[in-house]
Chains A and B, each alone.
Chain A
Amino acid sequence: MSQAAAIDQQRVTDTQNAEAWRDPWSLPLESLDPARAILFKENVHEEYFRRLRQEDPVHYTAESEFGAYWSITKYNDIVAVDSNHKIFSSHKNIVVGDAPDEFYSPMFIAQDPPIHDVQRRAAQPAVAPTQLADLEALIRQRVCSILDDLPVGVEFNWVDRVSIELTTQMLATLFDFPFEDRHLLPYWSDVATATPSTGRSDVTFEERNKVLQECLNYFGQLWHQRKNEPRKFDFISLLAHDPETKDMLDNPMEFLGNLILLIVGGNDTTRNSISGGVIQLSRAPEQWEKLKANPALVPNMVSEIIRYQTPLAHMRRTALEDIEFQGKQIKKGDRVVMWYISGNRDEEVIDEADKFKVDRENARRHVSFGFGIHRCMGNRVAEMQLRILWEEILNRFERIEVVGEPERVLSNFVLGYTRLPVVLHAK
């Protein structure tokens, strides 16, 4: 072989090796590292988890960019870990990568009892059903005005015009945030989540800190204002008035952490469920027909959308003691990652789990909202937002056609889309 030919041959082998990660079945089992963000962006993660569920459901990855970690991939094992907060702690990190200590901002999702309990209790009245019933008319009115403004028969990006806009308006309502400044909320959320600890390193920790300082200042002003007014049911007013949290502003990092939690918790998750539903229905036209024939399926479909999308791919815990789990020795201090996206495809619990079915039986049976004491606090708002949206879509459009490949987010945590080109067809 000539030297040039040898180099060419080497190039081909390199490319093949470089592409091997796309097919987990071609790799040695022990080398599988399902936390690489690229897997989710390129949509090849599902096969990784299928293999792990079959061959090594509690899997140890010894080396990764985030350090060593365990992967829990079966539905019932996820429920077991998520329910056992005494051994599997949420303190201080709930994603696979550790945030550097100098940027540590405590938040109740990343705390154990008792701190978790008192802070969650202070915030949760904002999203209780009685409160939501009062918000329903307003949310519906906003959904209608967003949908009525959309162009028909012309391509546009559903993510920007619907998913982001609607979620932003919902969040602004829950914070009673100045409506004209509402776009700051998804901006702060994006900066807060674009960290190397989830494989999304487009923002440095330093830049992140600067932007979040602005967020802190803005909310600090709202806090002072709300504190001097009677208690209302928005997040800020509730925290400012609750005896357990009324001094939170004295610990700015903790105030910031909890703000980020309440912004991020509702933002990417709801946004990507809104986009995900459009994609799922466009891929399964017979499901769309079924839905049109029976709009009463909307609430059931909403649960199915949230299962199928699994807007948060994982939550991470840290073992507080050595424990034997499904025959594996988990050691004190180990990272334990519960892959919700995998649990939601577990055929042992969910029949035909790879299929999206608007009339699925037991559609609420999924782990997208987690389990145990940290189970999502905002699930009812999210479900209401999606229900209203789909009711109003059915009132208006014959079909939402997806006209190009959706672009997916680079993250092992947030499963979602940056671009979803669609064309609407009027009724």
Chain B
Amino acid sequence: MPKVTFIEFDGTAHEVDVPAGGSVMEAAVSNNVPGIDADCGGACACATCHVFVNEAWMDKVGERGDMEQSMLDFAENVRSTSRLSCQIVLTDELDGLVVDMPEAQH
């Protein structure tokens, strides 16, 4: 079970264990981690699951998809490390992943 750490905008960290195969968004929502709204339920259609991937993990996490790239225009304060967390599938490779959350999703 990969471990993921979500760091809220105010610095509060939440560490969760989740089965591989789900998305980073699902890991947050199913563990009641605040700060991810996921209005569309993970379909890459709302951009309310925005996270910043910790630099050290950028290579492992992989590239943004085309739809995700376009949908990121709907998020605020987008940086080079920005991803839509519903589009990152958790694998054992990503065990230990750390992501930061933006101040708000709207």
Residue of A nearest to B78 (CB): A130
Give how many A-B residue pairs fall within 8 Å (CB-CB). 49
Pairwise interchain contact A121-B66, C-beta atoms closer than 8 A = yes
Pairwise interchain contact A369-B39, C-beta atoms closer than 8 A = yes
Asked if A79 lies at the interface with its beta carbon under 8 angstroms from chain B, I say yes
Closest approach, in angstroms, between the C-beta of A70 and any C-beta of chain B? 21
Q: Which of B32-59 contact A (CB under 8 A)?
A: 37, 39-46
With a CB–CB cut-off of 8 A, which chain A residues contact B76? Answer: 129
Pairwise interchain contact B74-A83, C-beta atoms closer than 8 A = no
A121 to B73, CA, bound (A): 11
Pairwise interchain contact B39-A364, C-beta atoms closer than 8 A = yes
With a CB–CB cut-off of 8 A, which chain A residues contact B40? Answer: 371-373, 375
Q: How many residues from A make CB contacts under 8 Å with B?
A: 21
Pairwise interchain contact A375-B73, C-beta atoms closer than 8 A = no
Asked if A196 lies at the interface with its beta carbon under 8 angstroms from chain B, I say no
Q: How many residues from B make CB contacts under 8 Å with A?
A: 18
Closest approach, in angstroms, between the C-beta of A84 and any C-beta of chain B? 10
Pairwise interchain contact B41-A83, C-beta atoms closer than 8 A = yes
A121 to B46, CA, bound (A): 12
Asked if A321 lies at the interface with its beta carbon under 8 angstroms from chain B, I say no
Residue of B nearest to A124 (CB): B70
A16 to B98, CA, bound (A): 66
Closest approach, in angstroms, between the C-beta of A132 and any C-beta of chain B? 10
With a CB–CB cut-off of 8 A, which chain A residues contact B43? Answer: 83, 85, 371-373, 375
Which of B45, B67, B73 contacts A129 (CB under 8 A)?
B73
With a CB–CB cut-off of 8 A, which chain B residues contact A83? Answer: 41-43
Using a CB–CB distance below 8 Å, which chain B residues touch chain A?
Answer: 37, 39-46, 66-67, 70-71, 73-76, 106
Q: Give the top 8 A-B pairs by smallest Cβ distance, nearest first.
A: A128-B73, A375-B40, A375-B45, A373-B43, A372-B43, A121-B70, A83-B41, A371-B41
